Structure formats: C-alpha cells, structure tokens
Amino acid sequence: MDKTEKNQIVDSDIAQLLLKHRKARNWTVTELAQRSGVSQAMISKIERGVSSPSATILSRLANAMNITLSKLFAELEEHQNSLVRFAHQQQHWTDEQSGIIRWTLSPAGASPELIKVEIPALGQLTIPASAIEHLCGQTLWMLSGNLDFRVNHQTHHLQAGDCLALTFAGECQMTNPDSEQSCTYIVAFSQKNR
C-alpha cells in the first residue's frame, strides 16, 4: 500500500481500488461513466493515477458501485479488527482540490459507520443526492467551527455542538463560512439493506 505518511490514503491506492471494483463488475470505463455521471476521461485518469479525484467525484464513483467511501477505504487496511479501530489506525484521505480531510473512524464493517470531516476556512463540499441515496440516513455532529449545510434549498447554520439528522436523499452542500478557522464534524450513517 502506497503511503506518504502514516495512514494517509493516496491517489495510487484509490486508483487500484476503483480499477479492481470496476473490473470485478465486468464494467467498461464507459459503463462506469454512465452509471456515475463522471466522464470517461476522468475515470481513466483516476485509474491510471494521473489525476486526483475530488470528494464529489469519488462519492459518485463509489455510489455507482453500491459502496460507501468508508467501505472502499476499509479495503486498504492491512490489519482489520472488526471490534476496534484505534486512533493510530484511523485512515485519512485529503481531497487535494479542496483541502478537505476525511478520517475513517469506525472499524471496517461497523454499522453505523463513523467518519470525521474537516473543511478548511471558506471551503466547500458538495455531495450529490445519488451519492447518499443508498444510505438509511445520516447524522452530523459539529465538533468545531461553523458550517452552512444546505439541502433542498434550505440552509442550516451549524456551530460546535449542533447536530443535524438527514433522513432523506438530497444534494447536500456544506460550506465553511469562516475565513480563518476550519470546521470539523462527525457523520454517522448506515447503508440500506440491498
């Protein structure tokens, strides 16, 4: 597994995983593009490791293959423990385009899954409805900073300690309005039974 620092997921890891999952389904790049809404050229660049996917693009690709990013990233774990994921084992991935950092907190296979997200000052993250339609819902708990969470044309202004429960699929746009401080939150979610 390629690592630039301890537990850092890098582009070559993602490239190998996406290629493996696409081939396991006997899909062409064209088929994955049609299912995900991501261009063939971008998928090809990601699979060759020459382009770094944004969080939005990675979410679309994972959703097209009916897996969460947490489950995708769990495959990179060298020593899986189904009961405990110690702090020093928590993997993280940085979206190089936006600076957003995503940590996998829960052990592989846990339900609900827990992730921690940090959005830099004035950063923004958009998650298409298609990327969360296979979830039972999700609950977001703010740890620090401020977050404007927009879903279905309604914006919720959240700060540390606030908790938002999203029980339906809709495009979500998260914006950190602070020009100096990052914001951090935890999300809990479970996949629908298929």
- Looking at per-residue confidence, does 74 or 176 come out higher? 176
Check: pTM over 0.85? Answer yes or no: no
- Looking at per-residue confidence, does 34 or 106 come out higher? 34
Mean pLDDT of 57-64: 86
- Between strands 113-119 and 183-191, the pairing is antiparallel
User: What's the distance, CA 67 to chain centroid?
Assistant: 11
DSSP 3-state of 115: strand
Checking if the pLDDT of 5 tops 80, the result is no
Fold of 8-73: 434 Repressor (Amino-terminal Domain) (1.10.260)
Beta-bridge partners for 137: 190
Amino acid at 101: I
CATH 1.10.260.40 domain residues, the chain: 8-73
161 φ, ψ to 5°?
Answer: 95, -20
CB atoms within 10 A of CB 79: 5
Mean pLDDT of 164-188: 92
Question: Would you put residue 41 in left (φ > 0), alpha (ψ -120 to 50) or beta?
Answer: alpha
Tell me: the pLDDT tens digits for 71-86?
Answer: 777 776 655 556 787 8
- Looking at per-residue confidence, does 158 or 93 come out higher? 158
Residue-level pLDDT at 81:
59
- Looking at per-residue confidence, does 126 or 121 come out higher? 121
Checking if the pLDDT of 153 tops 70, the result is yes
Residue-level pLDDT at 194:
52
CB atoms within 10 A of CB 131: 26
Cα–Cα distance, 5 to 109 (Å, whole number): 24
Tell me: the pLDDT tens digits for 88-113?
Answer: 878 888 888 889 999 988 887 788 88
CATH 2.60.120.10 domain residues, the chain: 84-191
Question: Would you put residue 161 in left (φ > 0), alpha (ψ -120 to 50) or beta?
Answer: left
147 φ, ψ to 5°?
Answer: -145, 130
Fold of 84-191: Jelly Rolls (2.60.120)
Cα–Cα distance, 15 to 140 (Å, whole number): 29
Checking if the pLDDT of 3 tops 70, the result is no
